[in-house]
């Protein structure tokens, strides 16, 4: 060992002084540089971890909101479909009601026209009977006014038969 010390020219006093200096520098650096840097690094690590947790929570909320909005969209589409179906059914019912009402109105108009025609027919029949009666009276007067002989009587009978 003495040969190594003499070969490398190691001085024990200088080596101990350097060790003491190194310990002092290490202690000062550890106390004033390394501890604050480690503290800042720990705080930064905690901040980053908190940010990651918050980002994960936000992402979960976003997915939940997407699912909820998708469910609401599906429900809205279903409701819209039901509303359209209901509106179509109501329109069909209204159409059928209008058709029935129109049929009833047409039937009423036809009935009124039939009654009017029947009334006119009866009035015409009365008028015809009246005119026939007048014609009969006129023809009887004419026949009575003329002297009836057998020849005229035969002609009258033939005319009536025709």
Summarised one tens digit per residue, pLDDT across range 48-83 is 999 999 999 999 999 999 999 999 999 999 999 999
Q: What is the mean pLDDT of residues 119-138?
A: 86
Q: Which two tokens stand for residue 53?
A: 């947790």
Mean pLDDT of the chain: 88
| DSSP for residue 7 | H
Cβ within 8 Å of residue 152, ≥6 positions away:
143, 146
Region 141-156: mean pLDDT is: 67
Please state, in angstroms and rounded to a whole number, the distance separating the CA atoms of residues 45 and 38: 10
Phi, psi (rounded to 5 degrees) for 27: -60, -45
| pLDDT, average across residues 6-30 | 89
Domain count, the chain: 1
- Joined tokens for residue 104: 């009833």
Is 146's pLDDT higher than 70? no
> Could you tell me which residues come within 8 angstroms of residue 156 by beta carbon, excluding any fewer than 6 positions away?
143
Average pLDDT (115-126) is: 93
Rounded to an integer, what distance in angstroms lies between the CA atom of residue 99 and that of residue 95? 6
Confidence of residue 153 (pLDDT cuts 50, 70, 90): low
* Domain membership of residue 84 as a residue range: 2-161
What percentage of the chain exceeds 70 in pLDDT? Answer: 92
Cβ partners under 8 Å of residue 4, min gap 6: 10
């Amino acid at each position: 060992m003495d040969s190594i010390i003499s070969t490398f020219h190691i001085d024990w006093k200088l080596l101990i002084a350097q060790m003491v200096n190194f310990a002092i520098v290490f202690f000062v650096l550890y106390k004033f540089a390394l501890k604050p840097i480690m503290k800042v690094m720990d705080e930064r690590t905690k901040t980053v971890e908190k940010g990651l947790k918050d980002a994960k929570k936000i992402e979960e909320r976003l997915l939940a909101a997407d699912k909820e909005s998708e469910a609401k969209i599906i429900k809205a589409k279903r409701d819209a479909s039901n509303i359209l179906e209901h509106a179509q059914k109501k329109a069909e019912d209204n159409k059928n009601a209008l058709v029935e009402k129109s049929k009833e109105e047409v039937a009423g108009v036809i009935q009124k026209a039939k009654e009017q025609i029947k009334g006119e027919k009866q009035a015409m029949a009365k008028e015809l009977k009246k005119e026939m009666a007048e014609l009969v009276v006129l023809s009887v007067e004419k026949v009575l006014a003329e002297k009836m002989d057998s020849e005229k009587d035969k002609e009258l009978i033939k005319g009536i038969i025709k």
